[in-house]
Amino acid sequence: MHKVLVPRGSGVHRFACLSLYRALLRRCSPAAAGDAPWRDETKFLVKQRFRRYTRLQSPSQIANALKAGYEALDLLDRAHKGNQRASLKITSILSQAKSFREQYAAQQRRIAELMPPKPVSPRQARKEVTIRFEQETSRKHPEALSILSRPRLTLSGKRKIPVLVNARGVPFLRIKKPQPRNLSGVIRSKLEKRWNRIVARDRLKVELLFAKDEDAWDHLTRATEQATWSEEIKLALDNVYEKIRGTDRQNRELAESMWSIVLEERELAKKEDEKRQLERLAMQDKAT
């Protein structure tokens, strides 16, 4: 069976293309082109075309591209030697390419205007709704009630039972998704504060070891100082421990309060469901 050779997988082909590419760029350098007005634009055009033709696989297309490249190299050589006709031809080619790009861009704009707008996918629609909701909930509403004021005895629709969520030790009640942005900020702030205290605790533990060594040295040298090195560090460490324990205690109490709210909401939702069922049965009896 005839073996299919992919040109870009051939070392000889790659070497020939790279040699042509380097030769074209050298002809566009200041040393070769001097102050020619077409120098920078030609260099940009060479790079652009080589990037575009990198993945060509058709032998005829590759042959045409290489032929155009060698013709361009010959034209640049003649322009480098002072041939005015070659310089004018390069300028003409660049102006034609620029005009073609402008016409193509204008045509694409007209086509885009005539095409109907692309329908938004369900995923994109959900994403836009989420972004809009986060923007609306970036600040707490001034008339918003505390979550601990629940359960509400009267509602206009069906009662939604909140879910107690544990965010790495920080409890909160989730009514629905997506989550309000201000709530996410509060949770993040609490977690960062607790983590900073843990980092401070670990650092003070290490410093306490060094302080005990200093106290031991002072004891050996019979220093007369009453204050010890470890005294202040112990006080700071106890303070950090107390803050961590206090925060954990508050979170535990808050979680217990929220859990009682969930239980009350469940009980009310159950009663409301039973009431709706009785009303539905009563309406069916009237209809019959």
> DSSP letter string over 200-259?
HHHHHHHHHHHHHHHHHHHHHTT---SS-HHHHHHHHHHHHHHHHHHHHHHHHHHHHHHH
E strand or H helix that includes residue 165: strand 163-167
CA nearest to 241, candidates 286, 204, 280, 215: 204
pLDDT at 204: 93
Residue 277 pLDDT > 70:
yes
Distance (Å, whole) CA 180 – CA 186:
10
pLDDT above 70: residue 262: yes
**Structure token digits, residue 197:** 């205290």
CA pair distance 133, 140, nearest whole angstrom: 13
Highest mean pLDDT among 21-25, 42-46, 247-251: 247-251
Band of pLDDT at residue 235, cut at 50, 70 and 90: very high
Per-residue pLDDT reduced to its tens digit, 10-37: 778 788 888 888 888 887 776 666 667 7
User: Confidence class of residue 86 from pLDDT cuts 50, 70 and 90?
Assistant: confident
Distance CA 255, CA 165 (A): 9
For residues 168 and 280, what is the distance between their CA atoms, to the nearest angstrom?
44
Contact 175, 151 (CB under 8 A): no
Domain ranges of the chain: 7-114, 147-287
User: What size, in residues, is the chain?
Assistant: 288
Helix (H, G, I), strand (E, B) or coil at 174: strand
For the chain, report the end-to-end CA distance as a whole number of angstroms.
83
- What pLDDT shows up at residue 281? 86
Question: Which amino acid is residue 185, in one-letter code?
Answer: G
pLDDT over 70 (residue 122): yes
DSSP three-state, residue 164: strand
Band of pLDDT at residue 41, cut at 50, 70 and 90:
confident
pLDDT at 119 over 80: yes
According to the model, what pLDDT value does residue 59 have? 80
Other beta carbons within 10 angstroms of residue 157's beta carbon come to 5
Tell me what pLDDT residue 139 has: 83
Judged against a pLDDT cut of 70, whether residue 159 lies above it is answered with yes
Other C-beta atoms within 10 Å of 51: how many? 9
**Which residue bears the tokens 């629905």?**
176
Average pLDDT, the chain: 84
Tokens for 190?
Answer: 């609490």
pLDDT: which is higher, 94 or 172: 172
